[in-house]
Amino acid sequence: MTALPPGATIGILGGGQLGRMLSVAASRLGYKTCVFEPAGDCPASHVANFHLQAGYDDVGALARFADAVDVVTYEFENIPTSALDALEARRPIRPGRRALAVSQDRLTEKAFLTDLGLTCAPFRDIPDLAALQAALADLGTPAILKTRRLGYDGKGQVRIDSADQAGAAFDAMAGADAILEGFVDFQREVSVIAARGLSGEVVCYDPGENVHRDGILRTTTVPATLTASQRMDAALLAGRILNALDYVGVMGVELFVTPGGLVVNEVAPRVHNSGHWTQAGCAVDQFEQHIRAVAGLPLGDGQRQVDVVMENLIGDDMDRLPDLLAAPATQVHLYGKAEVRAGRKMGHVNRFTAA
Amino acid sequence: MTALPPGATIGILGGGQLGRMLSVAASRLGYKTCVFEPAGDCPASHVANFHLQAGYDDVGALARFADAVDVVTYEFENIPTSALDALEARRPIRPGRRALAVSQDRLTEKAFLTDLGLTCAPFRDIPDLAALQAALADLGTPAILKTRRLGYDGKGQVRIDSADQAGAAFDAMAGADAILEGFVDFQREVSVIAARGLSGEVVCYDPGENVHRDGILRTTTVPATLTASQRMDAALLAGRILNALDYVGVMGVELFVTPGGLVVNEVAPRVHNSGHWTQAGCAVDQFEQHIRAVAGLPLGDGQRQVDVVMENLIGDDMDRLPDLLAAPATQVHLYGKAEVRAGRKMGHVNRFTAA
């Protein structure tokens, strides 16, 4: 277990805003970056040393990418298995494949978490309409039917408010494997951004309190409204997940806070939108923490120094940019996306609030 | 006076660590960057969108550079006049040429500052050895003989402790135009990082207290040990300098604190090593502040949120990297320089100290 020396190259699969901010963090530590991304002029390509523009099915390009880098990481979890196979033969992939397997499939994820003794929303595998009807009878409504794979930002999900909506909801899955999740009556949503180093050390950032709208994260506030024991529980369960996966890197763990305790909503094996506040609040932010982990460096100090509210800039939120740039105690982060589209994450702001 | 829209390209002359951190700051605001730098694999090229590798005497390359960018700025003040002429015909240069003229020549600089009513070290123009001998008789010893142009980090300077060293000191200038500066008996050295926007607004960061060794900045500590009135004086004199130059961008103003008041040591028309602490201490750091100014955006909030000590990593300070990476409350910034050399700035650390 040796740390990558300054000047080494970190390969990043995915060229979006997370890859962009990972690339900047890598540069801060003296590393070079190579971004693998099919799209041209992508956010990460603006700040990376190299951009390898090719598809995830291009085995030759993946091999060249692997040969050009010292370690491979990623900004999204839905990387095709064949691409991982091609890469793993040549370079370490961090976080490892077990984390990807767990997070790529909601059914596998829930089974893993439940096996660990953690509480998830009640769930049922839904191979067919009959299974959905039985599950609805069992779990009741409201409930949410979700594709097992490839869902994000509220996509691939249908809320079911009564049993007679079962047929339409099942059809909306368009034949994709699905699971039904029972309703969790939560008081608030929080997330823990946790990191595990190559040597097994684990650190957690202070939990953030999240507000979603239309399935998309709008704001994260730190500190979250949590009791001391909930705060401790959140860190302990995140640590349990990371250790069980022999994880290396940063993970986002989304939690529901309920009167009965913390319920794990989902895990993301990567830096997470709800961790962007760490750019303003900590000596070492989640992006650098992830780079430190995958590079084999010691983890950095993620202690929260100030209170922060992070707000995503989505679609025409960009019209507010002149005001945001002039606002006190406010950091603006833009992603360099050429086109503003409804629902598209264009940037975020971190606001210092009274400590 | 219109602000550059996101997606515009900022041209940066010089590809060192200051250009690197300017480029990262520009990306945060959604801008692209093009770095003009003769050396390959330079620190700024790792994070810039484009690197135009050519010499400052290559008028064709300068024209291509200007055509590729929306505004030109720079990370060092010793840009040849001919290069500025070629650029200025095509694109605005910010900060403007008057600031460069003042800071490129110590004699012009001191005359400018004195005309503004500010106090500098006593100085004399030294065209020949006789002038040096007369100046030494007048100003006394110790005194410092400095080249008028191209000095930095203690280079191009000779300390004179007695009149009989005049001949050797004069010879050390190797025929370069020089000035003699009288000794200032200062209590401490501080600097003010100040910014002026395109619309004329001025903001100052909290002054930092600097410690030099062998002519090179070692540490900057904020807050500096200053009285309230010294703090106010520092901001007022920085504002006077910026306004007199119709300045656009960030400037570093180095000051000696003496019992008689503040004495201006020198000004740098660019982001400044003694302002690196702002990366850890403020919502908007000096690099982003500079980009905001040259892009015509409103200046950001530079209020100090925490106490910070910045320490430069010079030469084999890099051997301490493993310890620094593991230290609490510490940010490490490396510049991506391939080769460690004695006296070479390889990076810096920002440490949060008790507020």
Separation between Cα atoms, residue B163 and residue B182, nearest integer Å: 13
CA distance A310 to A274: 8
Cβ count within 10 A of residue A76: 14
B35 in reach of chain A (CB within 8 A): no
Could you tell me whether strands A261-268 and A307-314 are parallel, antiparallel, or unpaired per DSSP bridges? unpaired
Q: Which residues of A touch B321 (CB under 8 A)?
A: 6
Q: Is A167 on the interface with B (CB under 8 A)?
A: no
Q: What is the distance between the alpha carbons of residues A47 and B29, in angstroms, rounded to a whole number?
A: 12
Q: Per-residue pLDDT averaged across B241-264, rounded?
A: 97
Beta bridge partners of B120: B264
What does the mean pLDDT of chain B come to?
95
* Contact across the interface for A329 and B303, Cβ inside 8 Å: yes
Q: Please give the C-alpha separations between residue A151 and each of A145, A147, B126, in angstroms, as whole numbers.
A: 11, 7, 74
What's the rounded Cα separation, in Å, for the pair A176 and A173? 5
Where does CATH 3.40.50.20 sit in chain B?
A: 9-93
Question: Which chain B residues are closer than 8 Å to A354 by Cβ?
Answer: none
**Are A29 and B328 inside 8 Å of each other by CB?**
no
- A–B interface: beta-carbon pairs under 8 A: 105
DSSP state, residue A127: S
> Within a 10 A sphere around the Cβ of B4, how many other Cβ atoms?
20
Residue A337 to residue A310: CA distance in whole angstroms = 19
Query: A122-182 maps to which CATH number?
Result: 3.30.1490.20
Which of B7, B283, B347 is opposite residue A30, by nearest beta carbon? B347
The ranges of chain B annotated as CATH 3.30.470.20 are 188-353
Q: Does A108 touch chain B (CB under 8 A)?
A: no
Cα(A169)–Cα(A36) distance, integer angstroms: 36
Contact B330 A300 (CB under 8 A): yes
Interface contact flag, B27 A331, Cβ < 8 Å: no
Among A47, A284, A299, A351, the strongest candidate for a mutation testing the B interface, having the largest count of B CBs within 10 A, is: A47
Distance from CA of B117 to the nearest CA of A (A): 33
How confident is the model over A117-121, as a mean pLDDT?
96
Any chain B CB within 8 A of the CB of A6? yes
Does residue A339 sit in helix, strand or coil?
coil
**Which range (A19-23, A171-175, A191-195, B295-299) has the least confidence?**
A171-175
Provide the shortest C-alpha distance from residue A136 to chain B (in Å).
Answer: 47
Query: Does the CB of B60 have a partner CB in chain A at under 8 Å?
Result: no
pLDDT value at residue A126: 94
Residue of B nearest to A51 (CA): B49
Q: What ipTM goes with this model? A: 0.93
Matching residue, tokens 């909290």: B206
Please tell me the predicted confidence (pLDDT) of residue A108: 95
Q: Is A145 left (phi over 0), alpha (psi -120 to 50) or beta?
A: beta
Nearest-angstrom CA–CA distance, A333 and B292: 13
Mean per-residue pLDDT, B18-37: 98
Q: What's the mean pLDDT in A314-334?
A: 96
**Cβ of residue A152 closer than 8 Å to a chain B Cβ:** no
Kindly calculate the radius of gyration of chain A based on its CA atoms and give it in whole angstroms: 20
**Confidence grade of residue A109 (pLDDT, cut at 50, 70, 90):** very high
| Confidence at B153, pLDDT banded by 50, 70, 90 | low
Give the pLDDT score at B1. 53
The class (CATH top level) of B9-93 is: alpha beta
Q: What is the pLDDT of residue A154?
A: 64
Chain A interface includes B6 (CB < 8 A): yes
User: Domain B188-353 - what CATH class?
Assistant: alpha beta
CATH 3.30.1490.20-classified regions of chain A: 122-182
How many angstroms separate the CA atoms of A274 and A272, rounded? 5
| Contact yes or no for B28 and A334 at CB 8 A | yes
Consecutive H or E run containing B101: helix B97-104
Banded model confidence at residue B143, pLDDT cuts 50, 70, 90: very high
pLDDT band with cut points at 50, 70 and 90 for residue A96: very high
Dist. CA B257–CA B229, nearest whole Å: 12
